[in-house]
Amino acid sequence: MAETNINHYAAKDFKSDQEVRWCPGCGDHGILASLQKTLAELDIPKEKYVFVSGIGCSSRLPYYMNTYGFHGIHGRAAAIATGIKIANPDLMVWEMTGDGDALAIGGNHYIHAIRRNIDIKIILFNNEIYGLTKGQYSPTSKKGLTTKTSPYGTIEEPFKIGELTIGANGRFFARTVDYNLQLSNEVYKEAARFHGTAVVEVIQNCVIFNDGTHDAFTSKENRDDNTITLRHGEKMIFGKNRDKGIILKDLKLKVVTLGENGITEKDILTHDAHEPNPGIHYRLAGMSLPEYPVALGVIRAINAQTYDAAMIEQHERVQAKSRIRTVDELLRSGSTWEVK
Amino acid sequence: MGKRSKVIEKDAVVIRFSGDSGDGMQLTGTLFSNTSALFGHDISTFPDYPAEIRAPQGTVGGVSGFQVHIGHKLINTPGDFTDILVAMNPAAVRANARWLRKGSTIIYDSDNFTEKSIQRAGYKADPFAEDKLDSMNLIAAPITTLVKEALKDMEIDPKTVLRTKNMFALGMVYWLFDSKLKYTEDFIEEKFGKKPLVAEANSKVLRAGYYYGETIEALTPSYRVDPAPIKKGTYRNINGNQATSWGVLAAAEKAGLKLFIGSYPITPATGILEELALRKDMGVKSLQAEDEIAGICTSIGASFAGRLAVTSTSGPGLALKSEALNLAVMTELPLVVIDVQRGGPSTGLPTKTEQSDLWQALYGRNGESPVPVLAAGTPSDCFRFGFEAAKIAIEHMTPVILLTDSYLANGSEPWKIPSTKDLPSITVPYAVKTDKEFLAYERDPETLSRKWAIPGTPGLEHRVGGLEKTIKGSVSYTPENHEYMVRIREEKVERIVRNIPDLKVHGRKTGDLLVIGWGSSYGHIITAVSELQQEGYSISAAVFNYIRPLPKNTAKVFAGFDKLVVCELNTGQFANYLRMKHQKYTYNQYNKVQGLPFTVKEIKDYCVKLLKGKKNG
């Protein structure tokens, strides 16, 4: 899809002069590249972008982006981003975070940002591991994963990010894969154009501490059969031969094969990302192997008033009624008396 | 109104309204205070209430009190001892018995002095005898009965009838002072405007109380306190939280900035968030955050984006904010952190006052973390220091901690309303685009502060963050760079001393004893020292508002006295800080950690002891 680009930016205009320090082969390189490409294609002047992050490998990204950037503290990116957006709603605020940063130490800010629907774009790098502290399990690590802090395997159930997000009343949830620059570009653009908290889970591979954790659906041989890319208005069809689809049966999603048991294309569900009822999106976001393919693309995108817009509206309402504009007027409001 | 037989003229009177926490004593006290202030008295108030919204009825722990000191002279404290106690139940007598002056008047609701409630308060049978109060001027008023009688013809529910009891008591006190009822009647009308029956009931009971006072005149003297010699001008009553809020708001206006507050509710600081949340008409953006950490982090974000940002809290919340506060230290962004102190540690005494967060403010963070610390001295003073904290934060590009406390936050006093044109100017160190590359940590040679580059400005794109940086804003782990940056951040804060006023001495600049304090002990210290000066002692006082950095004349002031004593509501935090900063002096300490302010008497007694009773020549 061709974009009009009034700013005539190229991806390289968003590269900062800082040396990129992620490990060779790290999925983060792909995320950075597709974000830079996305920004170059949007009609927004460079100075309006702010990249905010917490702590972790993901959170180094703002240093590599030639925009305004704020590298925060562990878990707090969503809160910092919220403050920036409220202070100046003209800015486009991107939060770079990871599964540990957003969902463990920052879990509270994460759910509340989503609940408020503050207009920030949350790019959540999910590698199911703590990388910067060198390999401890995270809230998304698969149950049983052996790491340095779970030498006998974890005994915890992981979060599924999509379920958590939609459960927190998320209005936008999408999923992409670090190396899939084309899908990422498409999803980031949709997130950018969405008004409200947009969460993009990026399936990211940590080559050092959790290499191949997503292979079951991201490797070359598996990806076609084990993922489904959802697009609003399109049939939920997937597979190497485009012969599999998803239907709703007995209130459950079900994978079927076209041509088998009389299934035809019209039996297959059509993706409606704009359906306000979260039920179907919750199920789609929660699909996992071996029963289902993993859903990619924009799973949910419903419009609702944003927190920042609601605040402006409330200010206008109050200002229309109140006569107080200056501190002098405020200090003299209410009960005062003269001493002569 | 009726002619009065016994009228006692006084320079100052202390009145305490006391009852169950649901009895409306805070409102009663506030209405009386405002009426007195409108009449022209100088006043100082001290609300004292339990942490529980509805503590067990009739128990001493559930007593809610509101003390007000009104005077014909200038009033600096809410008063040590009470002249008039309004006691709605026996527990209120028990809780206040030790604070009654000899010959006090006690007005009490005799309907509430049943055997059960007397025992509930911990008495056997006769509260006044058991607490040796029988010689006081006791006025038994069957308030419950009288209120029911006054409202018997009105169609209102019994609960509402009983809720008006506080107005009856207030009416009686108004009679004692020959006060006008108008302010209270206007208030009732405004508050219950939508429920005319309730408004009528309250007004009726208020008047019934007043006339009851008149009827039983024979039992009681009335008081006359003439207006105080107050400077000309327009006045209002203000409490500390309101003054702090308005102070930062005034700074924002003066600096041409819009205000942001991100905060989380916490006693006794919540009033600041509430006050600023009202000011959408002035463009204040307020966020009630999901927790204390989000309170400060949203504020840091707002500061980065170019607003004057404030976060308010109390001790436990400051502890939660400390990591983020260091982020503001590292990113060198303006931020005002208001700590309304309360009794600690942990949850401690949420509604009681203490000055025990000083070390937390100075030192409670990881790494070398210099943060300027200020402390306000009186409720209205909070305006000046709210303003000053913001001015320092902006001009020196640093977070600033302002310490107030429960005593200041809830206490109120008349305040001569300033005009903002008389407030100092504030210069915002904005970065501007030039031909040269913008360096995020390039410093002003004078203040050493960096420039504020606001997102949205073309050409100033830069990155800041919690990692150590070079002047350019690049991440750096170079040993020499880190030490350089540590020292320059320290020096930046130390240089603020160039822009703060000298420490003032109350009294002569030399003498036998200097009484040192900081923040909210101001009123009690100044009152105690003034009285001792009049009694002939060679004594002065110096109460600090600037804690870090300390005023540059500090050592010079200390050198003028034979003895120094530091009075503070903790076990010696400021005294020890002074021992470190100004080592050559010996510091005596007078400390109190009871969740209560000092009394003037205890400061005086200690000073006289230190002076061994020695007066001037």
Cross-chain Cβ contact B306/A87 below 8 Å: yes
pLDDT score of A301 more than 70: yes
Cα first-last separation, chain A:
75
Quickly state the pLDDT bin for A309 (edges 50, 70, 90). Answer: very high
Is residue B472 less than 8 Å (CB to CB) from chain A? no
> Tokens 């006391």 appear where?
B18
Work out the average pLDDT over B365-388. Answer: 98
CA dist B529 and B541 (Å) reads: 7
A109, B221, B378, B572 from A50: Cα distances, Å: 18, 70, 41, 46
Question: Cβ separation of B246 and A330 shorter than 8 Å?
Answer: yes
Residues of chain A contacting B250 with CB distance shorter than 8 Å: 327
What integer is the mean pLDDT of B523-547?
A: 97
Interfacial B residues in 82-101 facing A (CB < 8 Å): none
pLDDT at B5 over 70: no
CA neighbor of A90 nearest in space, from A121, A49, A35: A49
Fold assignment, A13-227+294-308: Rossmann fold (3.40.50)
* Orientation of helix B196-215 relative to helix B182-191, angle to 10°: 160
CA A271 to chain centre: 19
What pLDDT is stored for residue A292 in this prediction? 98
Phi, psi for A123 (deg, rounded to 5) = -100, 110
Distance from CA of B414 to the nearest CA of A (A): 9
Contact B461 A46 (CB under 8 A): yes
Chain A nearest CA to B456, separation (Å): 5
Find all residues with CB under 8 Å of A313, minimum gap 6, and list them.
none
Give the up-direction half-sphere exposure of residue B524: CA atoms within 13 A in the CB hemisphere.
30
Strand pairing partners for B567? B590
Going by the DSSP 8-state scheme, the letter that residue B457 receives in this structure is -
CA distance linking residue B102 with residue B133, whole number of Å? 9
Over 60: is that where the pLDDT of B430 sits?
Answer: yes
B456 close contact with A: CB closer than 8 A: yes
Report the alpha-carbon distance of residue B323 to residue B366 in Å, rounded: 8
CB A108 within 8 A of CB B290: yes
C-alpha span between B358 and B203 (Å, rounded) = 46
Q: In which element (H, E) is residue B587 found?
A: strand B587-591
pLDDT, tens only, B389-426: 999 999 999 999 999 999 999 999 999 999 999 999 99
CB contacts of A332 in chain B (<8 Å) are: 234, 236, 417
Q: Please state, in angstroms and rounded to a whole number, the distance separating the CA atoms of residues B460 and B436.
A: 11
Q: What residues of A are in contact with residue B465 (Cβ under 8 Å)?
A: 53, 62-63, 69-72
Classify residue B4 as exposed, middle or buried by CB count within 10 Å of its CB (0-12, 13-18, 19+).
Answer: middle
How far apart CA A238 and CA A228 sit, in angstroms, is: 5
Mean pLDDT of chain B: 94
B298/A311 touch (CB, cutoff 8 Å), yes or no: no
Predicted pLDDT at A4: 53
The Cα–Cα gap between B552 and A281 comes to 65
pLDDT, mean of residues A107-131: 98
Task: Please determine, for the modelled complex, whether the ipTM score is greater than 0.95.
Answer: yes
Chain A / chain B CB contacts < 8 angstroms? 205
- Name the closest residue on chain B to residue A89, using Cα atoms: B305
Regarding pTM above 0.90, the answer is: yes
DSSP secondary structure string for all residues of B178-233: T--SHHHHHHHHHHTTT-HHHHHHHHHHHHHHHHHHHHTGGG--EEE-PPP---SE
Looking at chain B, which residue has its C-alpha nearest residue A336?
B236
Look at residue A338 and tell me whether its pLDDT is greater than 80.
yes
CB contact under 8 A, A69 and B465: yes
Q: What is the mean pLDDT of residues B343-362?
A: 97
- For residues A137-145, give the mean pLDDT: 97
Average pLDDT for B501-526: 97
Paired tokens of A186: 């498409």
Kindly tell me if the per-residue pLDDT of B218 is higher than 60.
no
Q: Are residues B232 and B19 in contact, defined by beta-carbon separation less than 8 angstroms?
A: no
Which residues of B are less than 8 Å from A63 in CB distance?
Answer: 463, 465, 475
B309 touches chain A (CB under 8 A): yes
Q: Are B227 and B39 in contact (CB under 8 A)?
A: yes
Instruction: Copy the structure tokens of residue B399.
Output: 């977070």
pLDDT above 50 for B1 = no
Decide if B304 and A71 are in contact by the 8 Å CB cutoff: no
Percent of chain A past pLDDT 90, that is, above it, reads 95
Query: What's the mean pLDDT in B255-279?
Result: 98
Taking the Cβ of residue B245 and every Cβ of chain A, the question of whether any pair is shorter than 8 Å is answered with no
With beta carbons less than 8 A apart as the criterion, state whether B338 and B273 touch. Answer: no
More confident residue, A298 or A334: A298
Residue B335 and residue B362 in contact, taking contact as beta carbons nearer than 8 Å: no
Residues of chain B with CATH 3.40.50.970: 236-422
pLDDT of residue B518: 98
- The minimum CA-CA distance between B204 and chain A, rounded to whole Å, is 23
Through-space distance between the first and last CA atoms of chain B, rounded to whole angstroms: 53
Query: Buried b / exposed e across B558-576, counting CB within 10 Å, b at 16+?
Result: beebebbbbbbbbebbbbb
Q: Which residues of B506-540 are buried (b: 16+ CB within 10 A; e: fewer)?
A: bbeeebbbbbbbbbbbbbbbbbbbbbbbeeebbbb
- Residues B90, B121 contacting (CB under 8 angstroms): yes
- For chain A, the domains span 13-227+294-308
Do the beta carbons of residue A75 and residue A52 sit within 8 Å? no
CA distances from B206 to B83, B168, B172, B173, B200 (A): 22, 5, 8, 10, 10
Residue B530 has pLDDT above 70, yes or no: yes
Instruction: For A174-232, give the DSSP string.
Output: EEEETT-HHHHHHHHHHHHHSSS-EEEEEE---TTTSTTTTHHHHSTTTHHHHEEEE-T
B137 pLDDT higher than 60 = yes
Relative to beta strand A337-339, strand B233-239 is antiparallel
Percent of chain B with pLDDT strictly greater than 70: 99
What pLDDT is attached to residue B572? 98
Q: In the prediction, which pLDDT does A312 show? A: 98
Which tens digit of pLDDT belongs to each residue from B457-487? Answer: 999 999 999 999 999 999 999 999 999 999 9
Q: Which residue has the higher pLDDT, B512 or B3?
A: B512
Q: Are B234 and A112 inside 8 Å of each other by CB?
A: no
Does A337 sit within 8 Å of B331, measured CB to CB? no
Mean pLDDT in residue range A190-199: 98
Q: Which of A68, A83, A327 sits opposite B298 (nearest CB)?
A: A83
CB burial readout A211-224, b (16+ within 10 A) else e: eebbeebbeeebbb
- Topology of domain B511-610, CATH: Rossmann fold (3.40.50)
Q: Which residues contact B180 (CB under 8 A, 6 or more apart)?
A: B35, B39, B174
Using pLDDT thresholds of 50, 70 and 90, give the confidence band for residue B172. very high
Query: Is B417 within 8 Å of A326 when comparing Cβ atoms?
Result: no
User: Cβ separation of B456 and A91 shorter than 8 Å?
Assistant: yes
How much is the average pLDDT of B570-578? 98
Could you please report the per-residue DSSP string of B222-262? EEE-PPP---SEEEEEEEHHHHHHHHHHHHHHHHT--EEEE
Give B224 to chain A, closest Cα distance, Å. 19
Asked if B248 has any chain A CB less than 8 Å from its own CB, the reply is no
Choose the closest CB to A83 out of B246, B260, B283: B260
Residues A112, B233: C-beta atoms closer than 8 Å: no
Sequence-ordered strand ranges (E) for A25-156: 49-53, 68-71, 92-98, 120-126
Query: Does residue A2 have a pLDDT over 60?
Result: no
Q: What is the pLDDT of residues B24-64, one digit of tens each?
A: 999 999 999 999 998 889 999 999 887 777 778 889 988 99
Structure tokens at A278: 């979260």
Pairwise CB contact (< 8 Å): A327 & B457: no
Q: Is B31 on the interface with A (CB under 8 A)?
A: no
Residues B566-574, mean pLDDT to the nearest whole number: 98
> Encoding tokens for residue B32?
């009386």
Contact B253 A62 (CB under 8 A): no
Smallest CA–CA distance from B281 into chain A, residue: A319
At residue B255's C-alpha, the angle toward residues B252 and B257, to 5°, is 55
3-state secondary structure B315-377: HHHHHHHHHHHHHHHHHCCCEEEEEEECECCCCCECCCCCCCCHHHHHHCCCCCCCCCEEECC
CA distance B246 to chain A (A): 8
Burial of B159 (0-12, 13-18, 19+ CB in 10 A): exposed
Reported confidence tier of residue A1, pLDDT bands at 50, 70, 90:
very low
Measure B607 CA to nearest chain A CA, in Å.
Answer: 36
Partner A contacted by B304 (CB < 8 A): yes
Distance from CA of B206 to the nearest CA of A (A): 21
Residue B323 — left, alpha, or beta (φ > 0 → left; ψ -120 to 50 → alpha)? alpha
CATH number for the domain whose boundaries are B236-422? 3.40.50.970
User: Both tokens of residue A188?
Assistant: 């980031």
H or E segment at B285? strand B285-288
A50 to chain B, closest Cα gap in Å: 7
The residue among B172, B15, B166, B168 whose CA lies nearest residue B84 is B15
Summarize the confidence of residues B143-171 as an average pLDDT.
94
DSSP state of A19: P
8 Å CB contact of B464 and A69: yes
What phi and psi, each to the nearest 5 degrees, are found at residue A74?
A: -60, 120
Return the CATH number of the domain spanning residue range B7-224: 3.40.920.10
Lowest mean pLDDT among A248-252, B64-68, B213-217, B320-324: B213-217
Mutate to test the interface with B, among A331, A333, A338 (most CBs of B within 10 A): A331
